[in-house]
């Protein structure tokens, strides 16, 4: 539908604005986006840490066994230092 030179529609209708409507949609600022992303990553990592903790409570690590080669080396070292002594128990100190 055409408009007259003064902005009225044919037939005496209301005036129409002729200026171009600039609708710029602004997104979030870069700072807000970075803070939001940091927060999301922090929450996800905290959730994963909780899941790993719960898994470690349900499935505890096995107690390490003494390697037979290590036990033989310790027994040989004790026998060299103290002839006639024998190794009864090996305890790992942490």
**Residues 83, 94 within the same domain:** yes
- The percent of residues in the chain predicted with pLDDT above 90, rounded, is 44
- Residue 65's pLDDT is 78
Same domain, 51 and 73: no
User: Measuring CA to CA, which residue among 72, 75, 74, 73 is closest to residue 86?
Assistant: 75
Comparing CA positions, the residue from 21, 85, 94 lying closest to residue 64 is 94
Residues 51 and 70 in one domain: no
pLDDT tens by residue, 72-84: 999 999 999 998 8
| Cβ proximity of 9 and 1 under 8 Å | yes
**Residue 61's pLDDT is what?**
83
In a domain, 94, yes or no: yes
Query: What's the whole-model pTM score?
Result: 0.44
DSSP per-residue codes, 33-92: HHHHHHHHHHHHHHHHHHHHHHHHHHSPPPPPPPPHHHHHHHHHHHHHHSTT--------
Is 38 part of a structural domain of the chain? yes
Average pLDDT over residues 32-56: 97
Residues of the domain holding 94: 63-94
């Amino acid at each position: 539908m055409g408009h007259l030179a003064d902005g009225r529609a044919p037939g005496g209708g209301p005036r129409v604005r002729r200026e171009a409507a600039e609708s710029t949609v602004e997104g979030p600022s870069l700072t807000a986006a970075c803070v939001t992303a940091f927060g999301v990553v922090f929450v996800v990592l905290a959730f994963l840490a909780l899941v790993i903790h719960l898994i470690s409570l349900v499935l505890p690590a096995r107690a390490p066994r003494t390697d037979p080669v290590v036990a033989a080396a310790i027994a040989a070292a004790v026998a060299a230092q103290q002839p006639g002594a024998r190794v009864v128990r090996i305890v790992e100190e942490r």
